[in-house]
Amino acid sequence: MKRMHVAVNCSNLQKSLDFYKAFFGEEPTKLKDNYAKFELTDPALHFSLNVRPFEKKGVLNHLGFQVNGTEEVLAIGDRLRQVGLLLTDEMDTTCCYAVQDKVWVYDPDGNAWEIFYTKQDSEFESVGEPQDISLCCTPSLHKSAI
């Protein structure tokens, strides 16, 4: 296989382009009036934006990139802050049956992206109150993020 492909619908191509150019740190490889494509090499990802009507709160839970260590999480988090993307930090958190260090960011249509490093497996889905499990793997969306 060459690279993974992810296609997401967006409501405003320019807003999504501004976000994803900052998030990926790259320019799109193809750009049309209702479409944009990014072909990333590291990680190997073919990512496209499609201007289409859609219902918010769809079946997509979140997207993410697993990295090689906490230092990489912090470095990417710093880069994303420098380009003005709102982040949520979760260091040493137990989520999805793993202990992880991660940062979260949301695109203009509310799609959650995590950059994470898995430190170790856990027997627990989440640590905390039972109601915290509903937030596991997607922190609550900050209203200014969309």
Question: What are the pLDDT digits (tens) for 7-45?
Answer: 999 999 999 999 999 999 999 999 999 999 999 999 999
Is the separation of the CB atoms in 60 and 6 below 8 Å? no
Residue ranges making up the domain that contains 100: 61-124
Does pTM surpass 0.85? no
Count of domains observed in the chain: 2
Q: Decide if 137 is inside a domain.
A: no
Q: Report the 10 Å Cβ neighbour count for 17.
A: 18
Within this chain, do residues 8 and 45 fall inside the same structural domain, yes or no?
yes
Q: Decide if 138 is inside a domain.
A: no
Within this chain, do residues 39 and 93 fall inside the same structural domain, yes or no?
no
Dist CA 92 CA 116 (whole Å): 11
Dist CA 133 CA 65 (whole Å): 21
CATH classification at residue 67? 3.10.180.10
Question: What are the pLDDT digits (tens) for 91-132?
Answer: 998 887 889 999 999 999 888 899 999 999 888 877 765 444
Within this chain, do residues 92 and 65 fall inside the same structural domain, yes or no?
yes
Dist CA 94 CA 118 (whole Å): 10
Pairing of strands 112-121, 63-66: parallel
